[in-house]
Amino acid sequence: MAEFVEGFETLSKIGPAVTVFGSARAKRSSPTYRKAEKLARLLVKAGYGLISGGGPGIMEAVNKGAKEAGGESVGLNIELPQEQKPNPYVKTLLTFRYFFARKVMFIKYARAYVIFPGGYGTLDEFSEAITLVQTKRIERFPIILVEKKYWQGLIDWFKETLIPRGYIQPEDLNIFYVVDEPEQVVQIIKKFYQNQTSEGKR
């Protein structure tokens, strides 16, 4: 319970933010790391803070880009047997013992989810988000996969296996976006909320 209280109190003060996921193993020299860093800078310029898992790899890239751009840089760290140390670019750090509490914080304060290439943990966050939207447990919000080539096999499996068996519907593929460039991510988020504002005025 204490994790929820601390999380709510801290994250309620950061303003609009985007949560970004991706591999902790992405090297600093990799194009994916540099792309995540660039995205963070662009999102800060657009008025968003950045939330990551607080660790290395893509998480570090996101916090680095946000900090260097003068924006809010949040890390939601998790206690693990092989301890994940927070990266040095986190401005606001919360450390969780329980995954479920951490997940609530990721999604409650995110105006969008951006998912870079990653492993099981990254897939877990993506799957949970699209499930919550599909089952209408939360309102739709931008869920964006970055790097089309990386995600193509998963999307093909959705189309060629899950849809023919009736496990998901064709329209479920519209729950998320797939792009290649950071600029496209920012444009999707801006357009989504501009459309919401326009519809609210009708």
Q: Does 3.40.50.450 match the CATH number of domain 2-187?
A: yes
- CA proximity to 117, closest of 190, 17, 24: 24
pLDDT above 90 covers a percentage of the chain that reads: 82
Q: Select the more confidently predicted residue: 47 or 198.
A: 47
Domains of the chain by residue range: 2-187
CA distances from 176 to 95, 159, 197 (A): 29, 14, 20
Residues in the chain: 202
pLDDT tier, 5 (very low <50, low <70, confident <90, very high otherwise): confident
pTM, two decimals, is 0.93
Distance from C-alpha of 112 to C-alpha of 63, rounded to nearest angstrom:
16
Cα-atom radius of gyration of the chain, to the nearest Å?
Answer: 16
Distance from C-alpha of 84 to C-alpha of 54, rounded to nearest angstrom:
9
Residue 52 has pLDDT above 50, yes or no: yes
Residue 198 has pLDDT above 70, yes or no: no
Fill in the DSSP letter of residue 12.
T
Distance from C-alpha of 88 to C-alpha of 91, rounded to nearest angstrom:
8
Name residue 128's amino acid.
E
